[in-house]
Structures are given as C-alpha cells and as structure tokens.
C-alpha cells in the first residue's frame, strides 16, 4: 500500500505542474509595447519574409535534428520608432501556426525585441518562416529581421543565421 501512496502522490504532484511554453515572447515586455499606430496613412509600410528552421535534416531526409531559434526584430534607426503590425509564423507547408501579435507593437530607436522558438517546438518543421508587416516614417530605414538557430548535443554544436528579405514596401 505504501508504494501505491507514493505513486499517487507523484501523479498528483506532476499534474499540478504548470504547462511549459514551447515558443515564447516576454509577455510582460510585449504587453507594454502594444500601441495604436499614430497616423498610419502617413507612414511607410512593408512586409518582410524571414526563413526560420525549427528542424534540419541530419544524415538522411528521414532523420531531423531539432533547433532553438531566436528571432530578432531590430529597429536600426537612431531617432524613429518602428511599428510591427503582424508577426505570423508559418510551417513548412505554408500553413499559419500562430500570430505573435494580437495588436501592433512599437520598437524604440536602436532597440531589439525577440521571439524564441524552443527546441521542442517542432510545428514549423524544416521550412518554417515568418512574415512581418511593419510601419515606420518615410525618412527611416526599414526594420531588420534576423534568426539565429542553434543546437548542442554533448560536445557538438551547430548554429547559423538567416536575414529577412523585403517583399513589399510603400515609401
């Protein structure tokens, strides 16, 4: 009976553990960034594509290796704010997985904000990507979007980066 009690206790304790996020942003920081875009018609707008790899092939096309991805949204302007309207994450097949923004956010001059796709989040697959819709003043530089993918196992590690490609811009 003692073993049964211990097992029951362990099961109860395990069921009380909060569910761990598998892909994240800093919710406190991003909640404070929500904004109504001022005078949106007076701003330049654009869409940027960013390839992100949550998995890569290893040895054959039948074996994959999971990666952690850090997605950086960078405002490269010294004086002007950048507004991000959408940050939509897509899987290999082009199916939207999630939009990280319920409302637009701002990124202050020279600031970087990040999204982390955890190594255990395999939803994106080998061909995951983001589309970012953004706005900034006509005199400003467009934002820079980068991804750093990394994984380690024992003493082995791999990492690589990707940069966003502008698809549409209205200046």
Domain total in the chain: 1
130: closest CA among 111, 143, 120? 143
Task: Judge whether 41 lies within some domain.
Answer: yes
Tens of pLDDT along 19-55?
A: 555 666 666 577 888 999 988 889 999 999 999 998 8
Task: Judge whether 2 lies within some domain.
Answer: no
Task: Judge whether 46 lies within some domain.
Answer: yes
Task: Judge whether 1 lies within some domain.
Answer: no
Tens of pLDDT along 72-89?
A: 999 999 999 999 999 999
Task: Judge whether 91 lies within some domain.
Answer: yes
Task: Judge whether 14 lies within some domain.
Answer: no
pLDDT averaged over every residue in the chain: 85
Task: Judge whether 61 lies within some domain.
Answer: yes
- Cα–Cα distance measured from residue 17 to residue 12, given in angstroms and rounded to the nearest whole number: 9
Q: Residue 95: which pLDDT band, with cuts at 50, 70 and 90? A: very high
Tokens representing residue 16 in the block: 């009380």
Can you give the residue range of the structural domain that contains 105? 21-170
What CATH number is given to the structural domain containing 115? 2.60.290.11
Task: Judge whether 83 lies within some domain.
Answer: yes
67: closest CA among 153, 5, 133? 153
């Amino acid at each position: 009976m003692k073993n049964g009690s211990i097992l029951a206790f362990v099961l109860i304790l395990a069921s009380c553990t909060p569910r761990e996020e598998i892909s994240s942003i800093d919710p406190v920081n991003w909640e404070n960034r929500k904004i109504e875009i001022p005078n949106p018609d007076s701003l330049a707008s654009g869409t940027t594509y960013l390839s992100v790899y949550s998995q890569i092939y290893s040895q054959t096309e039948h074996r994959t290796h999971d990666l952690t991805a850090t997605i950086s949204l960078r405002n490269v302007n010294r004086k002007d704010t950048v507004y991000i309207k959408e940050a939509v994450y897509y899987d290999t097949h082009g199916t939207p997985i999630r939009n990280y923004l319920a409302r637009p956010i701002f990124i202050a001059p020279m600031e970087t904000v990040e999204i982390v796709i955890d190594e255990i989040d395999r939803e994106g697959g080998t061909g995951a990507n983001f589309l970012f819709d953004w706005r900034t003043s006509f005199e400003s530089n467009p934002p820079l979007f980068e991804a750093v993918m990394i994984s380690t196992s024992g003493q082995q590690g791999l990492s690589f980066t990707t940069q966003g490609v502008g698809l549409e811009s209205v200046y």
